[in-house]
Amino acid sequence: MAKNRKSIELHDKKISFELENVSYDVIRFYPTKMTLDVMVFENGAKEGIKTLPFAHLPKEIKKIIKPN
């Protein structure tokens, strides 16, 4: 059987999206927890790293990441 990865690095794919006037850059995806680490940018300034549930992402981003 294939070894399950604990996280999938997505930083090099340059995936970004915007929710409620806040920009997010995707860093990594955790398939076991179905969460993402994202870098938060508000008004062009870095606000830090935040964890978002996969279900809260826009459909376009979900299609790119494809957890299954």
> Does residue 52 surpass a pLDDT of 90?
yes
Q: How far apart are CA 40 and CA 51, in angstroms?
A: 10
In residues, how long is the chain? 68
Task: Using a cut of 0.95, tell me whether the model's pTM lies above it.
Answer: no
Q: How far apart are CA 42 and CA 39, in angstroms?
A: 10
Q: What is the pLDDT of residues 25-49, one digit of tens each?
A: 999 999 999 999 999 999 889 999 9
- Token pair of 32 as six digits: 């076991």
**∠ at Cα 51 (65, 35), nearest 5°?**
40
List, in order, residues 6 or more apart from 57 with CB less than 8 Å away: 17, 36, 65
- Please tell me the predicted confidence (pLDDT) of residue 1: 47
